[in-house]
Structures are given as structure tokens and as C-alpha cells.
């Protein structure tokens, strides 16, 4: 069997007669002129073909998935259709162009009448909205797409992601058009690759697709992945780096799908992240270049370091997957530690600490896709876990269950100083595409910094760590605080802290709205700070304004129903902590 990784043999599932995919000519070098060749074909204008095979081609049995092997070629279905599309990066044009997909890969894109439109959506819009980097520096385009052309299972993941985006966009756009028709207003938001809801509706109409039909088609592709994933995990060995990395890619793509689809509240993302963590533990030695092995001979145990032979493209892919995984884990830490343990990612050793992925950026700094989601703000993301633990300690103090207010206060001071001292690295500003990009980069950093400060201040307020008053006010009689046993800070201290929190809220609003961050390339990572801020807003009008902004934000991380449901869940879970 040929490997989907160039120069690597022994990996099942390649359905190409040549070793193409993530080679050095496939965007492995920054700024590559052509993303890939051979399988991708030549550059051609964008197409919107949605023709699919007949209903005999729409079943799982012809989807290229074998129950015994992940991504096996399956039945030889070489019927000529124009359902498939592929992409190539053109340095001259600065865009990805879509070309017909080779015949041997068209069966996945022809699985449903809408699969081709879903694939095109991923290429044109979804992939660009999943990362803060653009073009050939975006791994969802430059790394995942070439691999999808040689791997049916990855292609199913890609199409499912595009389907989730297209389905939600068509639904929200239909609702938006209905609202504008009633109110007579116009949507003045600029159109772009991440906000083309009206274009999504047009594509769906040409394909004869309704939101429910797109939902069903997306679910079928997703089900194909789940059905084959069991076989992929069977007999998977830590030393089989190529297969482990390939399986990790599928798991991370599934986690991204869960986080951007209608399944966001089902908790499926945590199952995929938990499995990913195990595979990451196997692959971590590949980043250091050595793997430690222990051998026993004649009763003596010896440990030795064996150099690992990992290709540059594999290291780049692993670096990108580590960052996407770490972002998904950290972005889901929106509640104090201990309040929602069922939604935590636990490692093989029982550990839940993921800070090492971001607190030590040197692990990934030499990778091609470094900063794909953290955008140089590794130190700020690294503050999320300790701040979450601080909030958990504050909850214990507030309920008089355990802990000391002085300890919470000391931790809060240390974390507050780190957040205040943070500055965007000069290297990031040097890489900015222009003045507007530098403004956006500074703004997203300030949004995260102030959101973290809000989290710290409200945790300290919850614990009342400076001065503690009795449960309930002196003249209030028995209130909610007294019944729950939660102690309140003395009024003067609470008022001062609340004023500080409000200043941080205003700073976030100014950075988000004043700099128009929702239409920048940093919109994929803006949801976490907005959930933190949204959970403490005291004004009904402010809450309504935020919800409306999230509802109309570009997809896919800020999909309408995703943003509404995630914000609602966060607000409920954090309401006890942020009582303003």
C-alpha cells in the first residue's frame, strides 16, 4: 500500500497511484507558488457544479468507505460526472481556484445531490473562516485539502464541514431576509468570503436544497466518518506515526465539525478531543525529534532515545493539529473549574492541564502553521486555565466549602499583573499585511486581555477576597445570598470592583465594534471573550445587542444558532460567579 504521506509506506487507505498530497510541492514551504499538482490538476476558474450521480451512487456502499479499513478505495466507481471539484493555490492571483476533481475521487463528492456544493463551500468560504491565517498559510486549505483528494475519509470530513456551514448560513440568511422584509431595512454588512449568506442561499436554490435537505446530506457524510473510525482505531500502534497522525487529523476535524454544527450542545466535541489527546501523547516525541524507549534484558532495564524520522510536512501537520486541539480545549473553558467536569478533556494519566501546549510556544514555533489560531497570543491563551481554576477556588470560598479568601486574592493579583503586562509581540506586527491588519491584530489582543481581566475581577468579587460581609445585607432580610450561604463583599468594595469590570467591558466593546473585528480575519477566535463578557452584562439592552451581533456574525465559529446556544449555556453556568 502507498502512503498518503510522500515517501512513507504502509498506511492503508491511499487511493492514488502516486504519492501525492502533503509533499514539498503541496504548500509545505511558505508562499509556495502552486499549492499542489498532479492530483489537483491545473488551475481553472471557480465552478459551481452541483451535478451528482444517480441515486445508485448515493449509498454508503459506494461512498468509498470500507468497514475494515479507514479510507479504503471500496468499489471501483469510475463513472464520469462533473460533481467533483478540487482547488489549487495561485500565487499570481492570490486565490484558490477550483478545478474538476479526478474521476477516482468523485464518488464521495457525488454521494448526495448537494455534496459538490458543500465541498465548494468548504473551499471558498468555510476553510478560510476556520483560521486566522490566509491562503497558503491556512492548514485547512493548504494541508487538509490535498490530503482529502487522496483520502476518502478526510474528504467526508471536509464535505461535512462545508455542509454544516452551508446549512446554517442558508437558514440564518432566510431568517434575516424575512426580518428585513418585515422591517423594510437593509443589511449594510459588507459581503466577503466569510459572510456570503445570500450566495449560500443562491447555491442551495440551484441545487434544489432546503436547510433540512442539507442537514440530512451533511449528517450522512458525518456518519460515514464515524462508521469507519472504529476500524481506524482498531490495532492502532503508537509507533505507526503516519496512521496515528492521519487518525488524529480525522478526530480534530470531527471536533471542529461538532463545534460549528447544530450538535454543539450535545458534548460530542469532548469525546473527539479526549481521543485526540491520547494520540497527541503518542505523537509529542515527534516534535522533539527523539522517542524514548525502555527495554529489559537479563533483568536489567535500560532507557534509550531513538531519533524519529518525521517528514517536514508531517511535522507541519502535527503542529497545526496541536494548535487547533489546544484552541478547542481552551475555548471550551468558559466555566469555573469543578462546575462542569463532564465537559472537560481528561488525558490518559487523568490530567486536565493543557497549558503546556500554549505556555511553551517553542514546541510549535518552528512549524509552518504556527499561530493558525493563537495568532501570537499564546501567553494570553495560557492564562485561561489558571484563571478558570481561580474561579473554581473562588466558588469554593464563596460557598464556605473550602479555601481561603487570602489565597484567592493573591492568585488574582498575580494573574492580573500578567494580563496587564501582556503586549502583542513585535514579530506579529511585523507580519501584518498593512495598517488595517495591525489595527485588527492589536484589537483582538485587547479583547482577550480585557476578557481575562473581567474573569479575574469577577472571580475575586465572587469570593469577596478583600473584605467579606455577612450573607445577605443587614437590612435586606433573608435573600438569595443568605439562603445559599454565599457571602457578599462589603458594598464599597463591590462597587469599586464593579466599576472596574464595567471599564473592561467598555474596552472590549470599543475594540470589537470600533475596529470592526467581526469582519476581520480574527473573527474565528472572537467567540470566547464575547461569551465571558456576555455572561456578566447587567443591562438588558446590552445583552440583546450582543446576541443580535452574534446572530449576524460571519460563520462558521460564530454561526447564528451556535453563538446563541453557546452564549446562553455560558451565561447560565457563570451567572453565579458574575453577579453585577
- Residue-wise pLDDT tens digits, 490-533: 455 567 677 888 888 888 888 887 777 878 899 889 889 988 99
Please give the residue that has the higher pLDDT: either 293 or 324. Answer: 324
- 174, pLDDT greater than 90: no
Mean pLDDT of the residues in the chain: 68
CA-wise closest residue to 545 among 557, 533, 554:
533
Q: Which string of DSSP letters, residue by residue, matches 130-164?
A: G-SS-GGG-HHHHTHHHHHTT-HHHHHHHHHHHHH
Q: Return the minimum-mean-pLDDT range out of 72-86, 124-138, 314-328, 340-354.
A: 72-86
- 447, pLDDT greater than 90: yes
Task: Give residue 456's pLDDT band: very low, low, confident or very high (50, 70, 90).
Answer: very high
Task: Give residue 403's pLDDT band: very low, low, confident or very high (50, 70, 90).
Answer: low
Cis peptide bond upstream of 556, omega within 30: yes
How far apart are alpha carbons 220 and 544 in whole angstroms? Answer: 36
Instruction: Report, as an integer, the average pLDDT of 349-371.
Output: 65
Could you tell me the three cell numbers for 558?
460564530
Within 8 A by CB and 6+ apart from 84, the residues are: 100, 101, 102, 103, 105, 106, 109, 110, 116, 119
Give strand pairing partners of 66.
69
**For residue 60, what pLDDT is reported?**
33
- Residue-wise pLDDT tens digits, 6-24: 333 333 333 333 333 333 3
Task: Give residue 480's pLDDT band: very low, low, confident or very high (50, 70, 90).
Answer: very low
Q: Look at the chain and count its residues.
A: 580
Cβ–Cβ < 8 Å for 268, 261:
no
Q: What is the dihedral sign for C-alpha 450, 497, 385, 250?
A: negative
Highest mean pLDDT among 169-183, 224-238, 329-343: 224-238
- 415, pLDDT greater than 80: yes
Cβ–Cβ < 8 Å for 218, 246:
no
CA distances from 93 to 33, 39, 48, 101 (A): 10, 21, 19, 21
How far apart are alpha carbons 3 and 545 in whole angstroms? Answer: 51
- Is residue 280 exposed (0-12), middle (13-18) or buried (19+ Cβ within 10 Å)? buried
Task: Give residue 363's pLDDT band: very low, low, confident or very high (50, 70, 90).
Answer: low
Within 8 A by CB and 6+ apart from 94, the residues are: 135
Please give the residue that has the higher pLDDT: either 194 or 273. Answer: 273
311 φ, ψ to 5°?
-70, 155
Cβ–Cβ < 8 Å for 552, 190:
no
Task: Give residue 387's pLDDT band: very low, low, confident or very high (50, 70, 90).
Answer: very high
362: number of Cβ within 10 Å: 8
Please give the residue that has the higher pLDDT: either 411 or 537. Answer: 411
CA distances from 344 to 187, 233, 268, 271 (A): 39, 22, 11, 9
**For residue 406, what pLDDT is reported?**
83
Buried/exposed 183-197: b ≥16 CB within 10 Å, e otherwise: eeeeeeeeeebbbbb
- 445, pLDDT greater than 70: yes
Task: Give residue 38's pLDDT band: very low, low, confident or very high (50, 70, 90).
Answer: very low
Query: C-alpha angle with apex 201: 147 to 526, nearest 5 degrees?
Result: 65
Buried/exposed 155-172: b ≥16 CB within 10 Å, e otherwise: bbbbbbbbbbbbbbbbbb
Instruction: Report, as an integer, the average pLDDT of 482-493.
Output: 45
Cβ–Cβ < 8 Å for 354, 381:
no
Buried/exposed 547-561: b ≥16 CB within 10 Å, e otherwise: bebbbbbbbbbbbbe
**For residue 266, what pLDDT is reported?**
67
**For residue 453, what pLDDT is reported?**
94
**For residue 75, what pLDDT is reported?**
34
Cβ–Cβ < 8 Å for 488, 473:
yes
Residue with cell 511585523: 430
**For residue 252, what pLDDT is reported?**
96
How far apart are alpha carbons 431 and 327 in whole angstroms? Answer: 21
- E-strand ranges in 33-114 read 85-90, 95-100
- 264, pLDDT greater than 70: no
Q: Return the minimum-mean-pLDDT range out of 71-75, 198-202, 372-376, 378-382.
A: 71-75
- 70, pLDDT greater than 50: no
How far apart are alpha carbons 265 and 559 in whole angstroms? Answer: 13
Amino acid at each position: 500500500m502507498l502512503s498518503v504521506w510522500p515517501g512513507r509506506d504502509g498506511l492503508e487507505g491511499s487511493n492514488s497511484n502516486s504519492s501525492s498530497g502533503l509533499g514539498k510541492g503541496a504548500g509545505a514551504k511558505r508562499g509556495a507558488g502552486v499549492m499542489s499538482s498532479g492530483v489537483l490538476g491545473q488551475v481553472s476558474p471557480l465552478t459551481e457544479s452541483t451535478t451528482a450521480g444517480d441515486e445508485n451512487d448515493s449509498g454508503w456502499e459506494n461512498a468509498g468507505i470500507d468497514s475494515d479499513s479507514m479510507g479504503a478505495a471500496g468499489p471501483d466507481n469510475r463513472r464520469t460526472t462533473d460533481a467533483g471539484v478540487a482547488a489549487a493555490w495561485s500565487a499570481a492571483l492570490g486565490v484558490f481556484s477550483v478545478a474538476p476533481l479526478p474521476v477516482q475521487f468523485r464518488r464521495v463528492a457525488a454521494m448526495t445531490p448537494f455534496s459538490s456544493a458543500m465541498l465548494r463551500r468548504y473551499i471558498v468560504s468555510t476553510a478560510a473562516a476556520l483560521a486566522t491565517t490566509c491562503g497558503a498559510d491556512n492548514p485547512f486549505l493548504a494541508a487538509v485539502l490535498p490530503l482529502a483528494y487522496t483520502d476518502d475519509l478526510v474528504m467526508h470530513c471536509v464535505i461535512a464541514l462545508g455542509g454544516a456551514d452551508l446549512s446554517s448560513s442558508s437558514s440564518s440568511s432566510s431568517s434575516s431576509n424575512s426580518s428585513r422584509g418585515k422591517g423594510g431595512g437593509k443589511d449594510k454588512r459588507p459581503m466577503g468570503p466569510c459572510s456570503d449568506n445570500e450566495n449560500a442561499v443562491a447555491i442551495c436554490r440551484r441545487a434544489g436544497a432546503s436547510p433540512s435537505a442539507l442537514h440530512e446530506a451533511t449528517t450522512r457524510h458525518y456518519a460515514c466518518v464515524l462508521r469507519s473510525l472504529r476500524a481506524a482505531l482498531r490495532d492502532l500502534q503508537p509507533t505507526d506515526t503516519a496512521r496515528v497522525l492521519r487518525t488524529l487529523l480525522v478526530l480534530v476535524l470531527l471536533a471542529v465539525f461538532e463545534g460549528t454544527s447544530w450538535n454543539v450542545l450535545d458534548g460530542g466535541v469532548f469525546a473527539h478531543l479526549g481521543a485526540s489527546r491520547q494520540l497527541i501523547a503518542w505523537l509529542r516525541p515527534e516534535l522533539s525529534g527523539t522517542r524514548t524507549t525502555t527495554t529489559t534484558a537479563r533483568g536489567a532495564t535500560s532507557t534509550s532515545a531513538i531519533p524519529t524520522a518525521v517528514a517536514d510536512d508531517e511535522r507541519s501537520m502535527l503542529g497545526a493539529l496541536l494548535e487547533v486541539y489546544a484552541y478547542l480545549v481552551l475555548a471550551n473553558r468558559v466555566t469555573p473549574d469543578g462546575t462542569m467536569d463532564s465537559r472537560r478533556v481528561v488525558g490518559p494519566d487523568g490530567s486536565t492541564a493543557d497549558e503546556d501546549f500554549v505556555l511553551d510556544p517553542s514546541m510549535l514555533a518552528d512549524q509552518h502553521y504556527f499561530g493558525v489560531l493563537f495568532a501570537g497570543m499564546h501567553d494570553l491563551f495560557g492564562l485561561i486555565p489558571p484563571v478558570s481554576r481561580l474561579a473554581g477556588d473562588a466558588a469554593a470560598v464563596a460557598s464556605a466549602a473550602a479555601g481561603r479568601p487570602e489565597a484567592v486574592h493573591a492568585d488574582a493579583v498575580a494573574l492580573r499583573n500578567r494580563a496587564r503586562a501582556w503586549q502583542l509581540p513585535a514579530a506579529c506586527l511585523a507580519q501584518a499585511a498593512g495598517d488595517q491588519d495591525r489595527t485588527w491584530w492589536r484589537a483582538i489582543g485587547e479583547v482577550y486581555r480585557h476578557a481575562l481581566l473581567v474573569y479575574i475581577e469577577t472571580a475575586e468579587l465572587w469570593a469577596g477576597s478583600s473584605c467579606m460581609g455577612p450573607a445577605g445585607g443587614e437590612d435586606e432580610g433573608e435573600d438569595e445570598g443568605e439562603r445559599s450561604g454565599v457571602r457578599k463583599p462589603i458594598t464599597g468594595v463591590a462597587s469599586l470592583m464593579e466599576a472596574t469590570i464595567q471599564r473592561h467591558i467598555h474596552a472590549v466593546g470599543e475594540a470589537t465594534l470600533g475596529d470592526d473585528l467581526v469582519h476581520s480575519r480574527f473573527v474565528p477566535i472572537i467567540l470566547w471573550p464575547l461569551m465571558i463578557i456576555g455572561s456578566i452584562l447587567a443591562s438588558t439592552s446590552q445583552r440583546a445587542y450582543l446576541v443580535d451581533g452574534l446572530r449576524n456574525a460571519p460563520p462558521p465559529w460564530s454561526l447564528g444558532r451556535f453563538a446563541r446556544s453557546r452564549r446562553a449555556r455560558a451565561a447560565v453556568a457563570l451567572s453565579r460567579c458574575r453577579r453585577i
